[in-house]
Structure 1
Amino acid sequence: MTAPALYETGSGRDGIMCPVEQLWTPYGQDAEDSGFVAHRGLYVTGIDDPTEDHLFPTGFLVLGHQRWADIIEAAAAYMSQVHSWRNIYLYPGDDPSVLIPRIPRAVHTHGVFLRHPHPDHACGCGWDEAWRMVWAPGTEPGAVPVTALRHPAAAVTAASLPSPDTGAPATWAP
C-alpha cells in the first residue's frame, strides 16, 4: 500500500485544499449506495483488475471473513441483481461449451477502502461516490477484513487477488 495516497490533497473550486481520498469503511446503506449488494446479511460487490477495462467484474469482494460457499452465493446474487445473469460461470457471449473446471477458491484478506470526500468538500469534481480498495495487511490502520473471489471465467491474474500460496497477507477461506 502506498501511504502517501492517503494524504494527498487537491484544490477545490474555491481554492481550499482538501484530501483527495480519505479512509472509508463501507457499512449498511452507505455500502449499498456505493455499489455493494446486500444478500443475506453480507455486502458484496464486483471488482475489476487494475486496468479497469472490463465490462463485467473479474472478481467479487464480500465484507468480512466469510465461508467460501457463502461468497459463491453472494456473488451469484450480485450477478443476478446487477447484471440480470442466472449464474456466475460465463461472461455474456462466451462459448458455453468451454469447460470451466471449478470455481476458484476464496481468500480471507484485508483491504483499506479509500473514498473521495465529495460531497463533504464541494470540489466540483466528478468523483461523487467513487471509492477504491488497496490490499493491505490486517495490521494496517483502517484495514477492513474482506473475502475475495475471482470470477470463474476471468483469467487467473485478472482480479489481482492476494494468494496465500505466494506469501501474500491472505488465507484460504474455509
Structure 2
Amino acid sequence: MTTTGLYEIGTSEGDDGTMHPVEQLWTPGEDAVENGFLAHHDLRITGIDDPTDDHLYPVAFLVLGHQKWADIIESAAAYMARIHGGRNLDLYPGEDPAVLIPRIPRAVHTHGVFLRHPHPDHDGCGCEWDDTWRMVWAPPTRCGAIPITAMRHPAAPTNAAGIPDPDQIPTATWAT
C-alpha cells in the first residue's frame, strides 16, 4: 500500500475521548518477509498497488535499499513468477502476448516511511489495521525514512503508484 505526500500517523478515539495512534513507524528488516516482502537473493521486494485503485496485480515494485536497475528487474520477474505465476515481466498473467510494451520502466532510488499497526507481535485485535502496513514517499531527512528502489510494472499505467520522478523531485535519482 502506498500514499503520496507527507505522512500523518492515523489515530482513533478511545472510549474516554482520548486519541490513540492506530499505526507506528516501522522499519522492515528481518521481519520483512513475514510482512509481505519476497526474498530474492539478497533483496527484499514486494508488489504494491496504486493508492486510488484496487488492482489484481501490482502496479509497481518496492525493493528495500538502493539497488541496481538490473537487479530490480530480476527481482520483479521473480516476484511475479512466485506470487502471481507470471512468466514475463512485461505482461500481467493471462494478457495477450501480442500487446506491445515498448520498454521496461527505469527504477528510481528514493525514500519512504513505513507505517504499521502498533501491535503486530500479538494475536490480532480484530481491527481493520491488523497485519497491515502502508508506505509513504518521503524525503530522506524525514523521521523514519529508509532508502527504497521503486519501479513501475511495465504493463501498469505510466502514472501508477505515483513513484517519484527524478526529473521533477531532487531527492529521487534514477537507478543505474
TM-score, normalised to structure 1, is 0.89
**Structure 1 gap segments, 5+ residues each:** none
- Worse overlay, 153-162 or 117-126: 117-126
Partner of 2:71: 70
2:150 corresponding residue in structure 1:
148
* Residue aligning to 1:24: 26
Give CA-to-partner distance per residue, 1:114-164, whole Å, 9 cap, x none. 011134687531322100000001111110100000000111011210001
Q: Which has the higher helix share?
A: 1
Alignment identity in percent? 67
Which residue pairs with 1:56 in the alignment?
Answer: 57
1:138 and 2:140 equivalent?
yes
CA distance in 1, matches of 2:57, 2:152: 12
User: Could you say what secondary structure the match of 1:81 adopts?
Assistant: helix
Write the distance in 2 (CA, Å) between the matches of 1:162 and 1:172: 10
1:111 maps to 112
TM-score (norm 2): 0.88
Greater shift in the superposed pair: 155-164 or 12-21:
12-21
Match status 1:44 vs 2:45: yes
| 1:130–1:90 distance in 2 versus 1, CA, 3 Å | same
Write the letter of the residue equivalent to 1:162: P
Partner of 1:2: 6
- What is the CA deviation profile of residues 65-94 of structure 1, one whole-angstrom value per residue up to 9, with x for unaligned ones? 000000001111111111121121111332
- Equivalent pair of 1:162/1:168 in contact (CA under 8 Å): no
The two structures, once aligned, show a CA RMSD in angstroms of: 2.2
Number of equivalences: 171
Aligned partner of 1:173 in structure 2 is 175
SS at match of 2:162: coil
- TM-aligned CA deviation for residue 45 of structure 1: 0.1
Unpaired segments ≥5 residues, structure 2: none
Per the alignment, residue 89 of structure 1 pairs with 90
